[in-house]
Each structure stands twice: as structure tokens, then as C-alpha cells.
Structure 1
Amino acid sequence: MKKLIFIFCAFGLTFNSCSSDDSTDDTGDPDTVLLKSTTETYEDGVFVTNYTYADNKLVGISYSGGDSEVFNYTNNLLTSIKEYIDGELDTEIELEYDSNNRLVTETYMYDFGPDEVNTYTYNADGTVTMLEAGVNTYIYTYDALGNRIAEEDVNGNQDYVYTYDTKNNPFKNIHQSEVFELMGHSTYKNNVLTYVNTDGVSSDISDAYTSSYSYNNADYPTSSTITYVPGTDFEETIFVELSYY
């Protein structure tokens, strides 16, 4: 399965979904809402993630335990990301774009090993091909809104399909959401309902999940229940609460 190098905490990467509406406080203008924090509750503890912005540009993430990420922009484009563990720089990611400001190369420079380069190709049929570290190839398919609806693992058996609700994704309004999405984050327009492996691989190596949500009056999720590999011995349930600026 493709490697997800850094994660917007649990919710930001994969935990998007839907359920019944909830008449909680409105978040204001739906087109300016930005995610402030997520609080995830596991069987063995609680994990909090905080997000900071400059206008609608994501500039920092801080995690429970002291880890963090810093996002740097050049000429309005995200060009580098620095990941810190216990205050020490662990990984730096450099991004390059084509003449249409589309992400074409991401280079991961590790403190503990050789660099890794991922490249993106934009195909005439609207799909995107990602070559990971010169080895694994993935093809992403999108709907008209820009939601990823399928990913094909050309070299293996980790093919996935997605279904979505019609509500607002917590990261809907961040700058360059399409770039974060390509790098493995669920910065779609809507929220993922199900994420299912279509190749029938054993559940111990599958990260398929289903989700349910409550929403505020602006149609943004305020809480979520995510169940990984439901109905199996590997089933895990996580509860997430979200707050907004």
C-alpha cells in the first residue's frame, strides 16, 4: 500500500464521513471556515491536533506529545514542509510544480536515510498517476467536484473505492487543497463515507473504514465515529471531535 509520509492527525488524513445533521452552533460563512483542532479518543488514550493558518494557508500543525509540522510558501505555492519530533527536525519535504502550478515532484529528505522522490503525471482523461519512489505506481480517479473516487495500485492489490456525502469537508477552504490531497490528505470538497479495498485482501493489511457524523448548521462535521475494518477481529473504533475558526 502506498506510503503516507506525514499525516493530518487521524481526521485529516482519512477520517472524513457523514451521518445525520446536528443543529449545533453555526460556524459563520461556510466559505471561510477553517479547522482549528481535532480531539481523537482511542481505547488507550486521547490525541489532540491543533492547526494554525495565515489567511487560509495552513502554516502549522502541533500534535499531542510535542511533535509538529511547519508549512512554508513561496510565491503563494507550498514549497516545503518541515516535520519535527520532540522539537528536532526529522524530515523535510520539498515540492516542485509545473507551469500550471500543479504538483509534479515531492522529495522527502530524511534524517535517518536516503531521500525519496514521488512524481505526479496529469493524464488526458483527468486521472493522475503517482510514481512512488520510482517503484510503486498509483492511478487516482476523481469526480467532477475533485473528490477522489478510486485509486488503482498498478503494482499490487491495494485498490480502493470511495463514497461521499454532500456536506462540507473540514479542509474545504484551505489554500492548495488539491496539493495536500495528492500527498495523502482528505482535503476534498465532501466527506468520505466509506473507503473499501476492492481486491479482497485480508483485513489485517487493509485500512478500509466506514464513518458516521454529526454536523453543525453550516454543514461541517462536529463529531465523528470511525470504524476501521468493521466486522472483523481487527475492528477499531475512534471518536473524533472537531472545532473551527
Structure 2
Amino acid sequence: MKKFLTVLSAITLVFTSCSSDDSPSEETSSGSLLTKIVETYDDGTVETIEFEYNGNKIVRQTSDLDVRDETIFTYTGDLITKEEYFFDDGEGYTMEEVISYEYDSNNRLIKSSRASTGLAEEDIFTYNSNSTISFTTTSTTTSPSTIVATGIIYLNGDQPYKKTITEYPGTIWESSRVEENEFDDKVNPLINVVGLSKTLIACPKYIYGYDGVSNNNLNFKRDNVLEESSTYTYNNNNMPLTENYIDTSNSDYNSVSQYFYN
């Protein structure tokens, strides 16, 4: 689950090889809200990601791998309307980024806006009658604004699973790709987080593929070439207990993840 939580949190989940004393018990792993992920990359790097809630609303996500790595969530009613991401590696690189969300009267995402230093993009979504969503991504960094991507998102029920995208259409840099995900039939760790699934289609130029709405990502292909795969063990609620993640394009991200619930 490389993009596990949000557009802003491009996290590669990994698992810590623990003794039996550190293994997730049913008490820590059979609740309904994901509270912590303990991860180890293949090089032995250990990272802990923690999630904070107000009821079933996600408030904050943090990682201990750098000096500061956190995402703060803002709700309007039951809809997530803003994510603020802050990063500081302690070695001179810092980053702040904001993604804003707008919805229609049916609580469907119709606009996502991403802004950081020197960059501003907006995505407009149009819902079609054939279970697809058309999108246009516009760069608003400079005036006049410029269309930098167009495409189609394919749905299976409420689950986005496929995207066709053309970047920089009509220019010498034009390129197209097809992205597709396959899911299991088990329960996604974040299924009970209010409003989160409605943001999954946001920033389609920026993020590759889709996380699960109800289920868990098994494979991600780009132009029919497998790039990511995951296998899981599950707890008594059929939610992931561990995940073995393989990135075929960059083995540095290969990992195993351990999930903890309330």
C-alpha cells in the first residue's frame, strides 16, 4: 500500500521482524480503527506511523523517521476539506503542502487543489453515466493557467480501479499511460474513517493508482506491467495484520508491514 492514507502521504508500508512479545495480539489488532503501523524497509530502517482520531474522523498522521513528518486533516461536517502536510528531514530539506477538497450536493468530490512552494494545480472531476469520471488537471502556478493532464477514472461500484491519463496534451511533451489496480475481498484498515474514501480520486496526475475503498490493494500495473504487489495476513475482523509489499521498479521500497488497531 504505497499510497496508504492520502495523496500527501506516499508511504511505503513495511513490517518489523519481531519476537513473539512484539507481535500484534488480538487485543491490539482486532479493533475497528487503525492506530499504528510499524514498518521495516529491506535495509533494516524502522519507521512508526501513528494515526489520531476524533471519533471516527482522522485528525493527524505522523511518522517518526524524520524530524517532522505529519499530515493534519480538517473536516466540514463529515467531509474532509483540507489536508496540510509538513516535512523536515533535519538536514536542510523542508516542505509544506496543502490539498483542498470541494464536493457537490451529493457529497462527490468535484475539485482538488494542491499547493506548495512554486506549485499550484487544480483537478476538476465530471461524473459520467457509464461509471467513469473524467478529469482535467490545470496548472495555476502562472497566469494564464495551463492544462497539464486529462483522463478517465473507471469505477467498480464506488471503487476506482483504473485510470487512463494523458499528460501535457497537445505539446511536444505529451505522454499517455494506463494505471490499474486489483483488490482482495477482505476489509480495508481505513474503512471506518469518515470521509476518507471520497478523497481517493484526488490529484490524479500527482498520485499513481488507487487505494481500496472497502478492500485492500493486491497489484498495481502501469501499461499492463506489474509495478507493485502485496500479500497479507488478516486478523479476526478480516483486516490486514501484516503485509508483504514488493516494488518491482525499486527494491529499496520492498517491505513488510505490521498493523495495529484500537
- Please indicate the TM-score interval, normalised by the length of the shorter structure: 0.7 to 0.9
Deviations 1:81-132 (A, max 9, x none): 211223987122222111212111112222x214221121111111112322
Match of 1:132 in 2: 137
Q: What aligned pairs does 1:7-26 form with structure 2 within 5 A after superposition?
A: 7=9, 9-11=11-13, 25=26
What amino acid is aligned across from residue 85 of structure 1 in structure 2? F
Question: What runs of 5+ residues in structure 2 fail to find an aligned partner?
Answer: 1-5, 15-23, 139-146, 168-174
Task: State the secondary structure of the residue aligned to 1:115.
Answer: strand
What amino acid is aligned across from residue 52 of structure 2 in structure 1? T
Question: What runs of 5+ residues in structure 1 fail to find an aligned partner?
Answer: 13-22, 201-206
Larger CA deviation: 118-127 vs 89-98: 89-98
Match of 1:52 in 2: 52
- For 2:199 and 2:178, the matched residues in 1 are separated by 20
Correspondence for 1:90 among 71, 96, 99: 96
Match of 2:238 in 1: 219
Match of 1:150 in 2: 162
Q: What aligned pairs does 1:59-74 form with structure 2 within 5 A after superposition?
A: 59-64=59-64, 65=66, 66-74=68-76
Task: Compare the two structures and name the one with the higher strand fraction.
Answer: 2
What amino acid is aligned across from residue 186 of structure 1 in structure 2? D
Contact 2:30/2:235 (8 A) holds in 1: no
Larger gyration radius, structure 1 or structure 2: 2
* Aligned-residue identity in percent: 23
Is the counterpart of residue 195 in structure 1 residue 220 in structure 2?
Answer: yes
Residue 76 of structure 1: how far off its partner (Å)? 2.8
Task: State the secondary structure of the residue aligned to 2:82.
Answer: strand
Is the counterpart of residue 168 in structure 1 residue 174 in structure 2?
Answer: no
Seen in structure 2, the aligned counterparts of structure 1 residues 75 and 98 have a Cα distance that, compared at 3 Å, is: same
- For 2:53 and 2:151, the matched residues in 1 are separated by 31
Task: State the secondary structure of the residue aligned to 1:128.
Answer: strand
TM-score of the aligned structures, taking structure 1 as reference length: 0.78
Task: State the secondary structure of the residue aligned to 1:67.
Answer: strand
Seen in structure 2, the aligned counterparts of structure 1 residues 11 and 121 have a Cα distance that, compared at 3 Å, is: farther
Residue 28 of structure 1: how far off its partner (Å)? 5.0
- For 2:102 and 2:233, the matched residues in 1 are separated by 38
Seen in structure 2, the aligned counterparts of structure 1 residues 199 and 157 have a Cα distance that, compared at 3 Å, is: farther
Task: State the secondary structure of the residue aligned to 2:200.
Answer: helix
Equivalent residue pairs, number: 219
Seen in structure 2, the aligned counterparts of structure 1 residues 169 and 243 have a Cα distance that, compared at 3 Å, is: same
- For 1:74 and 1:140, the matched residues in 2 are separated by 26
- For 2:198 and 2:125, the matched residues in 1 are separated by 11
Contact 1:180/1:187 (8 A) holds in 2: no
Task: State the secondary structure of the residue aligned to 2:177.
Answer: coil
- For 2:35 and 2:178, the matched residues in 1 are separated by 32
Residue 38 of structure 1: how far off its partner (Å)? 1.2
Q: What aligned pairs does 1:23-38 form with structure 2 within 5 A after superposition?
A: 25=26, 27=29, 33-38=32-37
Match of 2:79 in 1: 77
Seen in structure 2, the aligned counterparts of structure 1 residues 131 and 40 have a Cα distance that, compared at 3 Å, is: farther
Contact 1:177/1:187 (8 A) holds in 2: no
Contact 2:109/2:199 (8 A) holds in 1: no
Deviations 1:187-242 (A, max 9, x none): 42111111112355xxxxxx82111111111101111111111xx7x445211111
